[in-house]
Amino acid sequence: MMKNAKPTIAATMLIAISLLTACGQNGGSANSENANSGASANAGAEAANSSTAAGGTEAEPAAAPASEPVTIEFWYGLGGKLGELMKTQIDKFNASQDEVIVKGIAQADYSETEKKLQAAIAAKQVPAAVLTANSAWARKGLYAPMDELIAALPDFKADDFVPTFLKQGQVDGKQYFLPMYGTTQIMYYRKDALEKAGIKPEDMSTWEGLAAAAAKMTVKDGDKTTFYGWEPMWGSANMIDATLSKGGRILSEDGKTVTIDAKEWVDTWELFRKWIHDDKIMRIHSGGQGWEYWYKTIDDVMKGQAAGYTGSSGDQGDLDFSIVAAMEQPGWEGVGPGRPVAQAISAGIPAAASPEQQAAAMKWYAFFTSAENTALWSMNTGYIAVRQSALEDPAFKAFGEQNPQSQVPLKQATHGSEPFEDPTGGKINDALTIAADKVQIENVPAAQALKEAQETAQRELDRLK
């Protein structure tokens, strides 16, 4: 989804949500036209041959049929309305020109896209475009650098991208990934639940305040909780955000020591364990296929089984804002505002794709990230537009004024944390994921889970020396 670190985002980043109205024909019309052109040419040639054989005047050679469009696969891990909207944009692109046909292949989620790409690379049968990014794979030569492909598109205007988003796609000075949209995780709450409990949104501006509000809104029947005060999202991301907001770091400043067992980490994660397992004022949904756990969390809030949840800016397309409202993630008392991660969801081009397919993939990316289309995607989903010129889109401006929830991700992103670039190729992140499951699902004390994670991560970091 939604989903999931980075330099502080400039105030030029906007976000909004609405109905995507652009829809067109699919790419089949281009194929039909080409097929008909080829058939006409063949018929003409046959007629000319018959005439010559009968002693007639030799006809002029038939014109060569138009070149076929390049067909590429685009893999993306989006479900629900996001998946539907991506299909709409693909159809719109295919109808807009006759040089490229994009065939969208939906995956269960982002991680499945990467796993399937790994298998495709091994089998040497890769898609030309994928909604995933992996800097370690780029360094191994598994992704194609985009610089020359970008230069071949004169109207691309790379300097119009939000700089911090574009920078996230750079590896060793080259552009390997292009930001498709930006995201950060924010808070969504039921307006009626807060009103009933006499709670104002500003009362939840710190984690301490949120916990107190969650306790007040929680409803229990004996030992069973029937209405939860809050639902964090499964995984390490929410707890990492809260730890960064408290001043925690993943690595020491010199990059040599993994610091995920420091006091800021232990104290923060232990509070989440307590809220979920001891106090039972919060809960998480875990497991399932793809984004199943995510939508179960959303459903709890929309169906009146929880007061609020922490989710992606991209959830806004799935929410009814007559029922819910949005707010920034809390900070900590005595520390300051929250500093949750804000990041770009980027796409890449596998190096094994042919030159023609790579060029075709770049044309698709250029279309999707144009000012008009990034504004539409943002209005429709709640994700952050990646083009600075989207600010000038009239519909974008009007929507922001009419839908204040669309401005929350923007405001949060202006003081967000940069995404962590794992020097071990994902081993540190994996250790954090395992530790999060131990805390959130298995009720393991945070100190124990994080100590084990730190030792595992440190071993992996030390191997790089």
Start-end of H helices in 328-385: 355-368, 371-381
pLDDT at 20: 32
pLDDT at 46: 34
Nearest by Cα to 235 from 436, 450, 1: 436
| Domain annotation for the chain: domains and CATH numbers | 70-183+343-413 (3.40.190.10), 185-342+420-462 (3.40.190.10)
pLDDT at 66: 56
Residues 6+ apart with CB under 8 A from 78: 1, 86, 106, 131
Residues 6+ apart with CB under 8 A from 30: 69, 94, 98, 101
Residues 6+ apart with CB under 8 A from 49: none
* Residue 251 DSSP symbol: B
d(CA 311, CA 50): 70
For residues 463, 434, 6, 150, the Cα torsion angle rounded to the nearest 10 degrees is: 70
Range 16-25 burial, b when 16+ CB lie within 10 A, else e = bbbebeeeee
pLDDT at 339: 95
- Continuous segment of H or E residues that includes residue 31: helix 28-53
Region of residue 35 (phi > 0: left; psi between -120 and 50: alpha; otherwise: beta): alpha
d(CA 228, CA 50): 82
Residues 6+ apart with CB under 8 A from 124: 352
pLDDT in tens, the chain (465 residues): 444 433 333 333 333 333 333 333 333 333 323 333 333 333 333 333 333 333 344 444 444 445 899 999 999 999 888 999 999 999 999 999 999 999 999 999 999 999 999 999 999 999 999 999 999 899 999 999 999 999 999 889 999 998 888 999 999 999 999 999 999 999 999 999 999 999 999 999 999 999 999 999 999 999 899 999 999 999 999 999 999 999 999 999 999 999 999 999 999 999 999 999 999 999 999 999 989 999 999 999 999 999 999 999 989 988 999 999 999 999 999 999 999 999 999 999 999 999 999 999 999 999 999 999 999 999 998 899 999 888 788 888 899 889 999 889 878 887 889 899 899 989 999 999 999 999 999 999 999 999 999 999 999 999 997
Residues 6+ apart with CB under 8 A from 262: 248, 249
d(CA 337, CA 125): 47
* Residue 426 DSSP symbol: S
Q: What is the pLDDT of residues 162-188, one digit of tens each?
A: 888 899 999 999 999 999 999 999 999
